Structure 1
Amino acid sequence: MIGRWAALALTLAVVWMPPAATGAEAPVVLVADPWCPHTCDPAEGSEGYMIEIAREAFGLSGIEVIYKTEGWSRAMRDVRLGRADGAVGALFDEAPDLVTHAEPLGMQVNVLVTLGDDSWHFEGWEGLAGRRVGAVSSYSYSAEIDAWLKDHPSEVQMISGSDAALRNLKKLMAGRIDVMLDDEAVVGDAVARLNSPRPVRIAGRLPGGSLHIALNPKRGERLAQILNRNIRALRASGRLATILERYDLSDWGRKTKR
């Protein structure tokens, strides 16, 4: 009789063992807007190099990644409300109320783009007077750029939602804006996808910053530690460089020329 009860108790212990006791950790839910090549729409064939790096970094610690695309404003809101663990593509100081890991997951280089037959060059903010600038309302470009955009609403046409780079590029082609502001790699991807016969040119480059995952504080500190450790491991093994090469990019941490 005692043996039968002992066997039953052991069976119940196995059945009711909580997930934490098995060593398993809940998947990490990441959200981002399509901002290719940093973060892309998987339906178009690629997740983006930042998602690939994050997936492999968490994978080294046995954590599954679930990735969803949505507008940037909604992505940040979902992280703050705990509906997602992290928004991918945030500048380091973009969201002080969220947790940000130290090791960059990517780099942003801001550019001002015009049509190919426009001879204008950026030589200072005063040179943008009278020019219609296309930007994205929910993005943070840099402290300096953000301040200029806020102080010059009459010269800025803001859009929101997904695939903003491609939509602003179409506005530029249609003559509805004179200058497009976005990340250099993102503009290059949008130009390739649009495949327009009208050429565009970079009229100026402006500092951007390192790109990270803005993490919900509930799991943020632990996930940040995992990212910091495993991004360094991916770099040391050469795996990070391999991922970036598929997107025609170089490892910013290696100080190699792009």
Structure 2
Amino acid sequence: MAVRDARVHRPWRRLVLGLFALLAIGPARAETLVIAGDIWCPINCAPESAKPGIFVELARDIFAEAGIQVEYRVINWARAISDARTGKLNAVIGAGIQDAPDFLYTPTAPGISRMCFYVAQGAPWRYQGLGSLAQVRLGTINSYSYGQEIDAYVRMHRAKGDRVQVVSGEQALEMNVEKVRFGRLDATVENSWVMENLLARTRQQDRLQSAGCRAPDVPIYLAFSPAIEASARYNALFEAGLQRYRASGRLDALMRSYGVTTP
């Protein structure tokens, strides 16, 4: 009888031991996708904000549908590109293809960068093509791409600093705005969504004005690291989500919630 009882209870003992083993290991860790960039609101805004940015919300919602958590970090743009290139991050937010040609990009661009030039209120200068930049001291941001022609112009003139000044850091745009306001720069160039958002938040709409925009507009993306094997899968998941959100009108609604419209 004792032997039979032992055989009957042995499966229960194995089950209990298995449960203890699972508890010791702990719960399975959720898959996490780390995305980063410097603040470029409304594309990506303060992480603790109720409105963390258009691209951040898109990434969180689309990847959540696949059971993947998104961790959003704010770091210097040049470092974000470098860290993603070496696989320390999964993706950078708001990159143009010129920013990192070796990264993975979705066929569908979730947004555009319309680069416009901004001068102090009342200043007479207007952007009329690349040749007109010779008339101004232009403020730019390190490692940003403004399109092939302007990028070439920046590379040619940044060393001397008399025609192009380059700044870095999380407050780079604010620095360029201040320089224009106080006459240390004649103009700065920035994405129109970003500049309008900044001027509205800081109540400086009457301090700077648009002096014309570069054409054509440049598509911007959530650009995935070339050093991470899973990037191809993430890229495909994000593309499928963008297609669904565009077809359902959800992408338009998200854009409108940030005060912009889908191009």
**1:94 matches 2:103:** no
Query: d(CA) in 2 for partners of 1:197 and 1:37?
Result: 17
Identity of aligned residues (%): 28
Partner of residue 128, structure 1: 133
**1:241 matches 2:247:** no
What is the identity, as a one-letter code, of the residue corresponding to 1:237?
S
TM-score, length basis structure 1: 0.87
Partner of residue 22, structure 2: 15
Partner of residue 238, structure 2: 227
Query: Structure 1, unaligned stretches of length 5 or more?
Result: 253-258
Partner residue of 1:209 out of 218, 221, 226 = 218
**1:156 matches 2:161:** no
**RMSD of the TM alignment (CA)?**
2.4
Secondary structure of 1:30's counterpart equals strand
Task: Report the Cα offset of residue 66 of structure 1.
Answer: 0.9
Aligned residues: 249
Query: d(CA) in 2 for partners of 1:128 and 1:34?
Result: 27
Q: Report the CA distance shift for 1:57/1:130 in structure 2 as closer, same or farther (over 3 A).
A: same
Q: Do the aligned residues in 1 keep the contact of 2:98 with 2:145 (CA within 8 Å)?
A: no
Secondary structure of 1:177's counterpart equals coil
Task: Report the Cα offset of residue 46 of structure 1.
Answer: 2.5
Q: Do the aligned residues in 2 keep the contact of 1:101 with 1:225 (CA within 8 Å)?
A: yes
Deviations 1:67-93 (A, max 9, x none): 111110111122123222111111134
Q: Report the CA distance shift for 1:247/1:65 in structure 2 as closer, same or farther (over 3 A).
A: same
Q: Do the aligned residues in 1 keep the contact of 2:59 with 2:238 (CA within 8 Å)?
A: yes
Partner of residue 47, structure 1: 52
Query: Structure 2, unaligned stretches of length 5 or more?
Result: 1-5
Q: Report the CA distance shift for 1:8/1:242 in structure 2 as closer, same or farther (over 3 A).
A: farther
Partner of residue 255, structure 1: none
Secondary structure of 2:31's counterpart equals coil
What is the identity, as a one-letter code, of the residue corresponding to 1:108?
S
Partner residue of 1:57 out of 56, 62, 66 = 62
Which protein has the larger Cα radius of gyration, Structure 1 or Structure 2? 2
TM-score, length basis structure 2: 0.86
Q: Do the aligned residues in 2 keep the contact of 1:35 with 1:163 (CA within 8 Å)?
A: no
